[in-house]
A and B are shown apart, each in its own frame.
Chain A
Amino acid sequence: DQQVKQNSPSLSVQEGRISILNCDYTNSMFDYFLWYKKYPAEGPTFLISISSIKDKNEDGRFTVFLNKSAKHLSLHIVPSQPGDSAVYFCAASARGSGTYKYIFGTGTRLKVLA
């Protein structure tokens, strides 16, 4: 049972345009969400996070939006750069039991075309 889903395995975007990566979740107890970027042969690196008390969080070119009623979050990258080409994972953490676990999605491979 996949609690965190990234339904798009891959995405291609032109340099300078907006990249939108999506993530859906099923567990209504999730209250903290993160996005990670992963380059080949490296460990994932943290990008941005959001708590369920907010619906938006920005950090430079990266913005995460959270829609709790739809159980959906998205990562916007504007403008996209070739160095953004990587695999992006969303992750979620639940309050209550299981609060110590971060559950990850299956990832979306972003390719930014120069």
Chain B
Amino acid sequence: NAGVTQTPKFQVLKTGQSMTLQCAQDMNHEYMSWYRQDPGMGLRLIHYSVGAGITDQGEVPNGYNVSRSTTEDFPLRLLSAAPSQTSVYFCASRVGRATEAFFGQGTRLTVV
């Protein structure tokens, strides 16, 4: 049972490049979320999904796209990377509304 798996663990992008951060969970959780962690800012919600085909914006969605075609996968797309998107990104999943969320190990992204 792998839990929540994020790939890659590290990535360096040039300004303007696009890329997709992958997130997969094997717990059959309906709820999945993406967060970014920045110094002094805590964990900020980017996008979330409450099931396949359903996504919505969080606190800081600009510059990011998501889709949820399967229960297991919730990829995060950076359309045109900017230095302000340098951060550590975490994917999380949970089974229901008021339940604990399980986090992946994170992706450290640097945009130069």
Contacts and interface: CB of A to CB of B under 8 A. Distances in A.
Interface of A: 6, 9, 31-32, 34, 36, 41-46, 49, 51, 89, 91, 93, 99-107
A102 B97 CA distance: 9
A89 to B, nearest CB: 6
Interface in B1-50: 4, 31, 33, 35, 40-45, 48, 50
17 contacts: A34-B101, A36-B103, A41-B106, A49-B100, A89-B43, A91-B43, A100-B56, A101-B48, A101-B58, A103-B45, A104-B35, A104-B42, A104-B44, A105-B42, A106-B40, A106-B42, A107-B43
Interface of B is mostly: strand
Contact of B104 (A9, A32, A43, A104): A43
B100 A43 contact: no
Interface residues of B, number: 26
Contact of A43 (B31, B42, B45, B103): B103
Given A100-B31, A100-B50, A43 B4 contact: yes
A80 B43 CA distance: 25
A52 to B, nearest CB: 10
A36 to B, nearest CB: 8
A100 B97 contact: yes
A103 B100 CA distance: 13
B59 A103 contact: yes
Nearest to A6: B42
Contacts of A32: 97-98
Given A100-B48, A102-B33, A106-B42, A46 B101 contact: yes
